[in-house]
Amino acid sequence: MASSSSVLNTGGGTAMTDPVRYPVSASPEVRTKRAFVLVLLTLLLPGSAQLVAGDRKLGRAALRVTLCAWALLLLTVAMLLLNRSLVITILTNPVTSLVLVVLLAALALGWAFLFLNTLRLIRPVLLAPKARPAVGIALVLALVVGSGSVGYAAYLLNVGRNAIGSIFGSGPAMKPVDGRYNFLLMGGDAGDDRTGRRPDSLSVLSVDAETGQTAIISVPRNFQNAQFSAGSPMRSIYPDGYNCGDECLINAINTEVTNEHKDLYPGVADPGAQATLEAVAGTLGMDIQAYVLVDMDGFSKLIDAMGGIRIKAGGWVPISGETIDEANGIHGMPLGWIPAGDNTLDGYHALWYGRSREFVDDYARIARQQCVQQAMLKQLDPATLLSKFEDIADAGTKVVDSNISSSQLGSFLDLAIKAKGKEAKRLTIGPPDFNASFSTTPDFGQIHERVDQLLASASAKGAQSAGIPDDVVAVPQAAAGHVQAAGTVPAALPAAVKAEQQPSPSDFTPVTTTPDGEPITEEMLNQFKLEGDEESIRQLVATNGQCAPL
């Protein structure tokens, strides 16, 4: 009679001496190696450990799922190379993202079950006592790397899905106008003494639908006689523009409509924001398809979630103290200063950098706000987004509100990726691109002409037809009353107009010394403030509107 050690397993045709399936008769060293191999197989090819050492039916089913998952992953990578916006659209769509969350969670649980099943196959009681802790640690680490990673991906996708649902709308996708998407960015504070957010910052972000080339148009908050776009319900009240005197500044529209004219916007989630959008659109002579509201009090949280932003500052910027005389903009001693030169700003300092206007005018503040926007776009790279995704998504729900449809986020994120590395074209409806009194008595024909020129320069086709290289902005000779500040980029003129090349917005030297060559310090600026010599401070910080993202 044959020895029992050589009896064949008639069910599977495998010799019972096979140490992989039958480790009882194997040596301690072989059992340890077998344990590590089974853990590695479950990590690299889930189901293969069961196929060679356990329930073959379970192993075959798990392997089919594994191969399908690998095939889908490879297909996703190929689609990212061929049609990136489609992949992002699928990931951000509320229905498909929910399906993906469920599938990823199921895969994570199934993989975790396979690891537990592998532990049963290892049979730790057969291992040498010294080998058991090492095998156990290896299995736990493999479970965390494998199943844990998939589960965490499901969690992050669900966090993003919830954030998208909180921030963005569910309306129909919008189409580009003349090849561009135009968004109104409004930044303001929502306080107990205010109805909604008072937009102290108004900027239009215009993005070429093909190239991602961006133009930023800033409208001063004290702009008067704003024109409502055709079809705006507010034209029935202000047919000749928002022209009721000094009280009718463009940033007052939000509050007035919210308090007095909600009935003109039935079914609109935020009538004040929509009316402000219509006023900016009519003023600039362009279609604006959507708005984004940013709460400036919560803005610092978003910057902190990103890990800060890096900028080159042209001059010192004060962190203003308590307001003493609001009418004349007089404050007490500054709480601190942001120095000229290269800076990495956390949320608190980035907020003050974009908000401060002490010792300078609103237009220096607008330039810094444009710079902060560009720094955020430039520095929110995929590595930062992935590593800080949960914090960024959480901050975003507290900071941002928008009527952009969530179904279109894929194409917009793809455009944001294309825009990285391209310097934005900039225009301000005030100094340095128009004279200081222009916002009080604006010439709308001139505004529309300059906006058209800017958008032409920010369009690949427009720039080529005008004979303007992609990296050069054509700038008009300064007209009467026009103040041209260093480091700014006004709109481009047609090729027929003789133009001179202007340096890049980043091509400036920060002012870090006095005219006598003495280094500017915080102590020096505070001493001037204590002495009541604010004129000296104004001269030393006059260039703080110059800024470039690093």
169: which DSSP letter?
B
Which residue is listed with tokens 């007209």? 479
Chain-centroid distance of CA 376 in Å reads: 6
At residue 66, the 3 state secondary structure works out as: helix
Q: Which residue has the tokens 């300064």?
A: 478
* Spatial separation of the C-alpha atoms in residues 526 and 128, rounded to whole Å: 73
Q: Which helix (H) or strand (E) holds 338?
A: strand 336-338
What does the alpha-carbon distance between residue 76 and residue 70 come to, in Å, rounded to a whole number? Answer: 10
Q: Which helix (H) or strand (E) holds 200?
A: strand 198-208
Q: What residues contact residue 465 under an 8 Å CB cut-off, 6+ apart? A: none
CA distance 455 to 465: 13
Contact 404, 292 (CB under 8 A): yes
- DSSP one-letter code for 100: H
Q: What pLDDT does 378 receive?
A: 73
DSSP assigned state of 223:
-
**Which pLDDT score, from 0 to 100, does residue 117 have?**
94
Question: How many H-runs (helices) and E-runs (strands) does the chain carry?
Answer: 19, 17
DSSP per-residue string spanning 516-534? TSPBP-HHHHHHHHHTT-H
Q: Which of 113, 110, 104, 94 is nearest to 154 (CA)?
A: 104
Residue 237 CA to residue 471 CA, distance in Å, equals 44
Q: How, if at all, do strands 290-295 and 309-313 pair?
A: unpaired
DSSP 225: S
Q: What pLDDT shows up at residue 171?
A: 59
Tell me which residue of 244, 184, 180 sits closest to 214, measured CA to CA: 180
Tell me if 202 sits within 8 A of 184, measured CB to CB: yes
Do 199 and 307 form a contact (C-beta atoms < 8 A)? no
CA angle at 86 for the pair 85 and 92, rounded to the nearest 5°: 85
55 vs 192: CA distance, rounded Å: 65
Domain ranges of the chain: 20-167, 180-222+250-549
Residue 341: left (phi > 0), alpha (psi -120 to 50), or beta? left
Homologous superfamily (CATH) for 180-222+250-549: LCP protein (3.40.630.190)
Q: Residue holding tokens 């932003």?
A: 309
- Tell me the sheet residues that pair with 317: 338
Measured distance CA(507)–CA(314) in Å, rounded: 10
- Looking up tokens 């975003």 gives 396
Rounded CA gap, 222 and 169, in Å? 30
Distance, in Å, from the CA atom of 122 to the CA atom of 144, rounded to the nearest integer, reads: 18
Task: Estimate to the nearest angstrom the gap between the alpha carbon of 429 and the chain centroid.
Answer: 25
pLDDT in tens, the chain (550 residues): 343 333 334 444 445 667 788 888 888 899 999 999 999 999 999 999 999 998 999 999 999 999 999 999 999 889 888 877 778 777 777 788 889 999 999 999 999 999 999 999 999 998 999 999 999 999 999 999 999 999 988 988 888 777 776 666 655 567 888 888 898 888 765 544 444 456 777 889 888 888 888 888 988 888 889 999 998 999 999 998 898 777 788 888 988 898 889 999 998 888 988 999 999 999 999 999 888 877 766 677 778 878 888 999 999 999 988 877 666 667 788 999 999 999 999 988 988 898 888 888 877 887 888 788 778 767 766 556 655 556 666 655 556 666 676 666 666 776 777 766 677 788 888 887 888 788 888 999 999 999 999 998 887 554 444 433 333 333 333 332 222 333 333 333 333 332 333 344 567 899 999 999 899 999 999 999 898 898 999 999 999 988 988 8
Task: Give the 3-state secondary structure percentages of the chain, helix then strand then coil, rounded to 5.
Answer: 50, 15, 35
Say if residues 360 and 352 touch (Cβ distance below 8 Å): no
